[in-house]
Structure 1
Amino acid sequence: MKNYPISLLETIRARSIVSQYLKPTQLIRYEALSRILNANVFIKHENHHPTGSFKIRGGVNLMAHLKRQGISGVITFSTGNHGLSIATAAKWAGLSAVVVVPERNNPAKNRKIRETGAELIEAGKSFEEASQTVERLCAERGLYYAHPADEPHLINGVGTEFLEILEDAPDIDVMIVPLGGGSEAAAAITVLKTIRPHIDIIAVQAQNSSAAYRSWKAHAISSAENTTFAGGFATGKAYETTFNIYKDGLRDFVLLSEEEIYQSIGLAHYYTQQLVEGAGSSTLMAAFKLQEFLKGKTIVLQMSGCNASIEEIERAMTYSTFREGWRSVECRL
């Protein structure tokens, strides 16, 4: 199944599966953001899914295919949103699930994974160390290894969000997405560039976990320090399947400091009244940093997830972006 095609056609087929479980998420135009950025600004609210993130689309599509193959159980590693997607979709499909997370992982995400009935295992100090435990348990238990990036059915499932975007905003000029493992960037490129080749796709990543950015710049897969607090960005290397799509498909890449990621949580709250996680809010800060390029264009910012911990929200609330929005970051950009 790892060699299954990733394409617009497969995304359209995935939609018939995903739509059985999930409703389309809202694409909302924000007047204040549009005025400040001198652009036509929409946000795609993937944070409104039952699991609080876009990844459930891929999980649903993958589980449907696994069930047809007669597979009864899956295992994966995650910092949270992917694991919650696999655990939830497996439950809906009647499959068992094991999710391995790093030690000291986001407790809010751990709790939600356990609530699905999946087995949660904490192992290793990082995303990559957690993957080593998966490789061992996969062989011992005979489970299907649902990799968070190198899994075509996940990417085709995630691509359904971009079909929805084009239906609601066919004249989009720019799409900005967070990039960790790369499934969303790969899906955006596969769908948007096939239907509207002129659309510019821009990725955002944490400066403290910049493996994908470094790989994109070098045009070769590489690794990097992985110390960001933002779980959606917390990968220490790029992955072959997604990298081979985004290495040539991105117009640009924005890196954010840890402070800027916390500020982006504040911007999301101030302008959209949403409490979202670091990676999920990062596209707003990226848009402010790219305001000259975005001027006069129709842009969609992807709000990828809302599963922030209480500690992350509390710290973000200390930044003035929670109270003053754009004015608190204007001088920085």
Structure 2
Amino acid sequence: MQVTLQSIQDAARSIAGAVMQTPCLPAPKLSQLTGADIRVKYENLQVTNAFKERGALVKLLTLSEDERARGVIAMSAGNHAQAVAYHARRLGIPATIVMPEPTPFVKVAATRSYGAQVVLAGEMLADAQAEAERRAEEHGLVWVHPYDDPAIICGQGTIALEMLEAQPDLDCLVVPIGGGGLIAGMATAAKALKPGIEIVGVEPELYPSMLATLRGEQATCGGATLAEGIAVKNVGVLTQKIARDTVDDILLVNEDAIEQAVNAYLTRQKTMAEGAGAAGLAAVLTTPERFAGRRVGLVMCGGNIDPRLLSSIMVRALAREGRMLSIRIATQDRPGVLGEIASLVGTLGGNILEVSHHRLFLNVPAKGTTLDVTMETHDRAHADRIIAALEEHGHKVKPLDLGESRL
């Protein structure tokens, strides 16, 4: 299979009815936030909550009867694993998925729930890949690569077909890059349909693999990133060749921008994005002047995020905006002082969430106490008024990071 507009259109016909044609809609609140005219493609609405179903199904549909009977094997720590497992079960194809041992249990359980045999091997994806390749050779299984395969790339390219059908006036597509399968497919289709459209890739600063490769440099990769779905050290051979010919620019985004983008999708669009899924929006937030006034298509490519991580991101965002305030109050240890503080905060419109007393700290006078108070406020100006009022009433106040309030 060659990666062409025709093969991508053929792929779209082959998966019609089995993979959701997700909506691509204007996002006025994100447009107001960024200054660009934003349209979002909601791939988090797929059954497995990510775009990977497209390529996985196209690949599985190319298999012969003999290959189907032998079964398939894939290596993944997340979305590709679930996509292969889900559609292999639909088609009656035995599937083995090799995942690194540290893979979160929720992802392992989800993959098993789709009927695949899950094998945990090694600490890193490279270890899992080595084991998958060994098993493929030993048992004659068909290898389903997560990105460096023409069928996979063509399947991912169907996203661009749908986006330009729904929003033909797009000036630019901003696409997350991991191994490169998504951007290779989308760029091939989009450039063929609309040669003047700009294709912008996005990678985490910690994993600039495609950017370095296209520059002929050695990538320095490593570290914990919210965008673990695109934290790839080695891009594909085929994907980098296609990207070299079709991708106009690649931007890097830091962890703060990814975090802000995840929160913006949740609070403004009321939809869940994993870190990789929010990378495109992170790029627009990082360089708003580059996209100002342009019609920008964002691929929200996945929504598989740990709920605990998502809740932490929300709380951190509230703290940044001054809507959640944590302070340490040094005051006299006397009856009624806590009630006075609570009354003052309540009178000023603050809502106390948590209070903790500290009498035994050695840096606190014997007749003194400290109170750690966490409260909801309207905004930073409101928080500042509450702090000022407490100080006017004789209390020493130190703002805390939310994590400090429990120390």
- TM-score where L is the length of structure 1: 0.91
Q: Superposed, which structure 2 residues align to 1:185-224 within 5 Å?
A: 185-218=183-216, 222-224=218-220
Residues 66-123 of structure 1: CA deviation (Å, up to 9, x unaligned): 1456432111111211111111111111101111112211333222111011011121
Distance 1:101 1:257 in 2: 27
Deviation at 1:297, TM superposition (A): 1.1
Residues 230-265 of structure 1: CA deviation (Å, up to 9, x unaligned): 321121112101111112322221212233322221
Deviations 1:128-160 (A, max 9, x none): 221111111111111001111221111111111
Whole-Å separation in 2 of the counterparts to 1:263 and 1:148? 28
Match of 1:225 in 2: 221
Residue 37 (structure 2) aligns with: 40
Residue among 249, 258, 261 paired with 1:261: 258
Q: CA, structure 1 residues 91+42, in 2 after alignment: closer, same or farther (shift >3 Å)?
A: same
Mapping for residues 13-32 of structure 1, pairs under 5 Å: 13-32=10-29
Distance 1:131 1:151 in 2: 15
Given that 2:44 and 2:272 are in contact with CA atoms closer than 8 Å, whether structure 1 keeps it comes out as no
Tell me the distance in 2 between the aligned counterparts of 1:103 and 1:249: 36
Task: Give distance in 2, aligned partners of 1:54 and 1:322.
Answer: 32
Q: Residue 251 of structure 1 corresponds to which residue in structure 2? A: 248
The C-alpha deviation readout for 1:181-203, integer Å capped at 9, x for no partner, is 11110011110011111111111
RMSD: 2.1
Is 1:90 aligned with 2:88?
A: yes
User: Separation in 1 of the partners of 2:268 and 2:309?
Assistant: 18
Give the 3-state SS of the residue equivalent to 2:40 in structure 1.
Answer: strand
Change in CA separation of 1:38 and 1:234 when aligned onto 2, cut-off 3 Å: closer
Q: Which amino acid aligns with 1:39?
A: A
- Letter of the structure 2 residue corresponding to residue 6 of structure 1: V
Larger radius of gyration: 2
Which region of structure 1 is more displaced relative to structure 2, 175-184 or 36-45?
36-45
Alpha-carbon spacing, 1:286–1:46, altered in 2? closer, same or farther (3 Å)? same
Over 3 Å counting, the alpha-carbon distance change for 1:311 and 1:216 in structure 2 is farther
SS of the counterpart of 2:296?
strand
Return the letter of the residue paired with 2:104.
N
For structure 1, the 5+ residue unaligned runs are 329-333
Which of residues 269, 272, 275 is equivalent to 1:275? 272
Q: Is the 8 A contact 1:209 1:228 kept in 2?
A: no
Quote how far apart the aligned CAs of 1:289 are: 1.7
Residues 25 and 48 in structure 1, CA contact (< 8 A), matched pair in contact too: yes
Partner SS for 2:62:
helix
Contact map agreement 2:253 2:286 (CA 8 A) in 1: no
Cα distance in 2 for residues equivalent to 1:105 and 1:49:
22
Query: Equivalents in 1 of 2:74, 2:33: separation in Å?
Result: 42
| Amino acid aligned to 1:315 | S
Partner of 1:95, secondary structure, is coil
User: Offset at 1:223?
Assistant: 4.8
The total of aligned residue pairs comes to: 322
Kept in 2, the 8 Å contact 1:262–1:315? The answer is no
Matched, 1:6 2:6: no
Asked if structure 1 preserves the Cα contact closer than 8 Å seen for 2:56 and 2:144, the reply is no
State the partner residue of 1:168. Answer: 166
Contact 1:206-1:228 within 8 A present in 2 as well: no
Distance across 2 between alignment mates of 1:57 and 1:172: 22
Partner of 1:301: 298
Distance 1:78 1:154, change over 3 A: same
Q: Which has the higher contact order (CA 8 A, sep 6+)?
A: 1
Which residue pairs with 1:136 in the alignment?
A: 134
What one-letter code is carried by the residue in structure 2 that aligns with 1:226? Answer: G
Change in Cα spacing, 1:53 to 1:323, as seen in structure 2 (3 Å) is farther
Q: 5+ unaligned residues in a row in structure 2: which ranges?
A: 323-378, 381-407
Amino acid at match of 2:196: H
Residues 253 and 228 (structure 1 numbering): CA distance in 2 closer, same or farther, change over 3 Å? Answer: farther
Instruction: State the identity as a percent.
Output: 30
Q: In structure 2, what residue type is equivalent to 1:143?
A: L
Map of 1:110 onto structure 2: 108
Q: Determine the C-alpha separation between the residues in 2 that align with 1:274 and 1:244.
A: 34
Offset of residue 33 of structure 1: 1.7
Instruction: Give deviations 1:3-50, integer Å, cap 9, x for gaps.
Output: x21111011111111113023101111112223333221000011000
What letter matches 2:309 in structure 1?
A: E
